[in-house]
Amino acid sequence: MSLSNNRLSGYIPPELGLMTGLNSLFLYENALLGTIPHSLGNISGLQILSLAANGLFSSIPDNLWSLSGLRVLNLSGNTLDGSLPQQIGNLKFFDKLDLSKNRFSGNISSILGNLQMITYLDLSKNSFDGEIPSSLDRLVISIGYMNLSYNRISGTIPKSFTNLGKLYSLDLSFNKLQGPIPEGGVFSNSSIVSLEGNPALCGAVKLGFSPCPPPSNSKSNLYLLKYILPPIVLVVLLLSCFCTRIIFRRWGKKLKLPSEDASLNTIRVISYRELVRATNNFSEANLVGRGSFSSVFKAYLDDGLITAVKVLNSENQSALRSFDAEYCVLSKIRHRNLVRIISMCSNLDFKALVLQFMPNGSLEQWLHSHNYYLDLLQRINVMVDVSLAFEYLHHYHPHVVVHRDLKPSNVLLDENMTAHVSDFGISKLFLGDSHSILSATAPGTLGYMAPEYGSTGKVSRKGDVYSYGILLLETFTRKKPTDAMFDGELSLRQWVTRAYPSAVLEIVDPDLLKESVDIQREPSSPIIVGQCLSSLIELGLSCSRDSPQKRIQMRDVVPKLQKIRNDFLSKSPRS
């Protein structure tokens, strides 16, 4: 019984419990309120229950865990609370459990290790605490997707997680984890594991974390910290203050302090001379790209690190504003799908940002250049990465960040083909409670720019959602919004809308359809690919609606896109 994706309101009728022969019940993405009826536990043959994205509250009825044949339970996107009961271990045939985006709390029960057939576990965006139970390593033969992000989980990451060989996605980000990151297994692949937002973790330098300190004698360390170190620190601080006072008295008129930017304390200021050496005097051979505001060079720093140096056109006032905006944003954010700022160099005549180098170039060249090709799964992965970046910027950063210029050339790919959003030159950082402003500055790139930018000048998160929707349509149709065929009244979105849903396969990139026939060699493969592409196109159209109020939010885009990917992987012969 499927009544999902409607506008059903009110309460779930308890009479549904009388349908004892029901196998599957889908009521997700409606406007249902109240509690989950206790009577649903009477449907003894129930295998799939999805009540996601409604307004349900209170706890899960205890007798729901007695449905021994239950394989899929999706209750995400409600306001349910309570803890995970021990009875959950009775569900021996569990395949998928999604309780994300609720208010569950307490420890993650070790009984989850009994779910030997589970392939998908999502407990993200709740209030779970305690440690990760080591019993989860017993899921080695089944688990492919595990998401425990955005909780309050503490302790260390179990070393045995390296044995979970079937994992294609592990997200432990934004918790309170600490200690060394296990080596090997899933933790050797940055495109699979996500650990950001756990500042007390160490090791795994490839994932962007500091090396762990070497082990030492605890007793001697305690003595050092308690009796010897404090006097030394006090003397050093007094000397530093004394010397600083003398220096500022002598040179105070010549020195200009950075304005209200604490980030300079954590980002190293690199010298112009080192940048000259690193780029071979900014030679054309090191030139990666050039725009109206800046030129980007590949650089080899003195410590051997390969970086990208973005040199601003100092004669262009807009470029100088771009530099200030980009530095302001990049110095305050950190996410695995955002280009990371490494250093900066600024004086009266020269301004440059030293950024993470992306050896696989941009999505632009992979979509529209000869001899480049991304298959369907690679394109989905790129769009998932971009959606995660914008979910963070819009909903999980302390201050809302609106990018305003999302397009394929601003999506860069690292050595593992993980996507990183770049170019924050015209972005806006909203402080306080304001989530929209009126702007008179350049709002973005034609074709990707939201309609309200041109008509009202209003800048908000919904403008980024529109650009994301256009990027999604471009990625799977391989048609630019500025293509010559889109002139007059016809736009990329209108062209796609006319084909959806009956003629989707006529407007998608033909190479994706050839791939399903030539590579997978399964009779059902074209159907699977077609279903996947249709879902992707539908999501792109939902994001790019003309009315900002009708566009979905990025925090809703992420689970939809991840579901599309998971459905494709579960049905694809190559999975």
Q: 3-state SS string over 103-169?
A: EEEEECCHHHHHCCCCCEEECCCCEEECECCHHHHHHCCCCCEEECCCCCCEECCCHHHHHCCCCCE
Q: Are 331 and 378 contained in the same domain?
A: no
- How far is C-alpha 326 from the geometric centre of its chain's CA atoms? 20
What is the C-alpha separation between 181 and 195, in angstroms, rounded? 9
Contact criterion met (CB below 8 Å) for 130 and 151 = no
Report the predicted TM-score, pTM, of the whole model to 2 decimal places.
Answer: 0.55
Candidates 235, 543, 218, 190; CA nearest to 391 is 543
* Domain count for the chain: 3
The CATH number of the domain holding residue 517 is 1.10.510.10
C-alpha distances (whole Å) from 67 to each of 63, 92, 305, 496 are 7, 10, 56, 43
pLDDT computed for residue 187 by the predictor: 86
pLDDT (0 to 100) of residue 325: 66
Q: Are residues 380 and 318 in the same domain?
A: no
Claim to verify: residue 330 and residue 370 sit in the same structural domain: no
Gap between the Cα atoms of 388 and 401, Å rounded: 13
- Do residues 282 and 369 share a domain? no
Is 237 within the bounds of a domain? Answer: no
Instruction: Report the distance separating Cα 368 and Cα 411, nearest Å.
Output: 14
405 is catalytic: yes
State the residue for tokens 């506008």. Answer: 7
- Positive or negative: CA dihedral 174, 178, 179, 184: negative
C-beta contacts of 515-522 below 8 A and 24+ residues apart:
515/375, 515/376, 516/376, 519/574, 520/572, 520/573, 520/574, 521/573, 522/573
**Cβ atoms of 516 and 526 closer than 8 Å:** yes
CB 361 within 8 A of CB 528: no
Residue range(s) defining the domain that contains residue 540: 363-571
Would you call the peptide bond into 501 cis, given omega within 30 degrees of 0 as the criterion?
Answer: yes
Between β-strands 200-202 and 31-34, what pairing exists: parallel, antiparallel or unpaired? unpaired
**249 domain-assigned:** no
Q: According to the model, what pLDDT value does residue 313 have?
A: 75
- Kindly calculate the radius of gyration of the chain based on its CA atoms and give it in whole angstroms: 26
Is position 254 within any domain? no
The one-letter amino acid at 134: S
Residue corresponding to tokens 């799977």: 476
How many residues are given for the chain?
575
Q: Which of 327, 356, 385 is the endpoint of a domain?
A: 356
Per annotation, catalytic residue among 405, 414, 423, 509: 405
Domain boundary, last residue among 188, 207, 226:
207
Say whether both 352 and 369 belong to one domain. no
**178-211 burial: b if 16+ Cβ within 10 Å, else e:** eebbbeebbbeebbbbbbbbbeebbbbeebebee
> Are 413 and 561 within one domain?
yes
The two structure tokens encoding residue 289: 């790209």
Q: How far apart are CA 569 and CA 566, in angstroms?
A: 5
Q: Residue 288 maps to which CATH number?
A: 3.30.200.20
Contacts of 284 (CB under 8 A, 6+ apart): none
pLDDT value for 177? 93
Q: CA 14, 15, 16, 20 torsion: positive or negative?
A: positive
**Residue 409 forms part of a structural domain:** yes
The enclosing H or E element of 386 equals: helix 376-391
Kindly state whether residue 215 falls inside one of the protein's structural domains: no
Domain of residue 118, CATH code: 3.80.10.10
Domain boundary residue, one of 304, 321, 356: 356
Which residues have CB under 8 Å from 190's CB, separation 6+? 206, 207, 336, 414, 416, 418
User: What token pair was written down for 517?
Assistant: 């026939």
Candidates 126, 192, 156; CA nearest to 418 is 192
> Do 321 and 395 share a domain, yes or no?
no
Low-confidence ranges of the chain (pLDDT < 50): 218, 247-248, 250-266, 431-434, 436-442, 517-524, 575
Alpha-carbon distance of 553 to 95, in angstroms, equals 28
CB under 8 Å to 336, separation ≥6 — which residues?
Answer: 173, 190, 194, 196, 207, 208, 388, 418
Residue 105 lies in a domain: yes
438 shares a domain with 339: no
394 and 535 belong to one structural domain: yes
Which residue from 543, 403, 421 is spatially nearest to 461, judged by alpha carbons?
A: 403
What does the pLDDT read at residue 248?
Answer: 45
- pLDDT of 223 reads 56
Question: What is the C-alpha separation between 140 and 167, in angstroms, rounded?
Answer: 9
In this structure, are 348 and 396 located in the same domain? no
* Same domain, yes or no: 340 and 369: no
Span between the terminal Cα atoms of the chain, in Å: 28
Which residues are part of a known binding site?
Answer: 310
Q: Judge if 67 and 181 occupy the same domain.
A: yes
The answer to whether residue 242 is domain-embedded is no
